Structures are given as C-alpha cells and as structure tokens.
Structure 1
Amino acid sequence: MRLGRKKMPVYRLVVTESASARNGRFIETIGTYNPIGATETVQLNSERAKYWISVGAQPTAAAAGILRRNGVEFKGHPKGEYVAADSK
C-alpha cells in the first residue's frame, strides 16, 4: 500500500485478501518500507510475516524481495505456493 506524498513514497507491507482492492481493506500491517534517502528503511515484524507465510499467504514479487533482504526465509514452490523455511 503506497503512502507518502508526490515523489516521496512510503509503503506499508500488509496482509490482505486476494479479492480486496489494491488500496482497500487489509487484515494486518506487518511493516513499512521507505525507499527514499541514503539508505532504505524497513521496519518489519518478521514473526508475523513468517506466520502469515506458514498459513498460506503468498507475497508479491516486490514484497518477497523485501522479506528476503530482511531475513525472512521462505521457499517458493513450482505451483506458486510459499512455505516459511522454519515451519517444515
């Protein structure tokens, strides 16, 4: 979910139903991502991210990259399903 102002984006990492609108209702906020500045800033609740992946949540490609860079290990299956690395 994009927040911020013109040319100064800040993103929320949220858990949402697949049928919801892109900026619509969401279940839980698991973090924020600020790509602007000398270093990108990520605040992430990794325990909640691992939980949601373990119960079947599928991150987008952009969210998966942010999660991997911040230590949330999971593996993708050929069918597109994701599993948290420590859950099995």
Structure 2
Amino acid sequence: MDGRQLVVTEYDPRWAGQFDELRRRIAPRLGGLARLRDHLRRNPDDVRRYSELKTALARRFHAHDEARLRYAEAKSTLVEQLIAAASRPA
C-alpha cells in the first residue's frame, strides 16, 4: 500500500455522534440531495417510484454527454417532488 498502513480498531460508540455531527455540517452544502437521500431511506414507495423512473430513463438515454443531460432533465420533476416532500414537516 505504498508505505501506508491500514489499522483496524474496535468499534467506538462515539463514532455515531461524530458521524451525525459531520452529516449536520455537510448537509447544508448538499442542499436537497441530502434531504432526498434521507427521504428515500424512510419511504420505500418513493424508492420504488424513483428506481422505476431511473431504470426506464437509463434504457431510453444512452451514456453520452447529451443523453446524460436529457436523462437528468427527465428525472428532475420527480426529484423536485421528492425533495419537496422531504422538506415538509413529518
């Protein structure tokens, strides 16, 4: 490993709090993407909708630059709806 060492340590229960703090610091910079991620983790029906759309779009648009843009545009309406749902109070 080019001079570096991999050190494995026992689990430290403080890690959960440290990761929560890191997530709180990073989330504002991610904007709606962090809210979308968290929303999808809690809502399996929306995961299914999102997955089905992404699969259909992947079949429709191929992996060259212009198609990627059309792919992103085509899924933007659902993404915006899911981010809005994630932003509403529970």
Identify the structure with the greater strand proportion.
1
Rg (Cα) greater in structure: 2
Judge same fold: TM > 0.5, yes or no.
no
How would you bin the TM-score normalised by the shorter chain? under 0.3
TM value normalised by structure 2: 0.25
> What TM-score do you get using the length of structure 1 for normalisation?
0.25
Q: More helix per residue: 1 or 2?
A: 2
**Greater RCO, CA 8 A, separation 6+:** 2
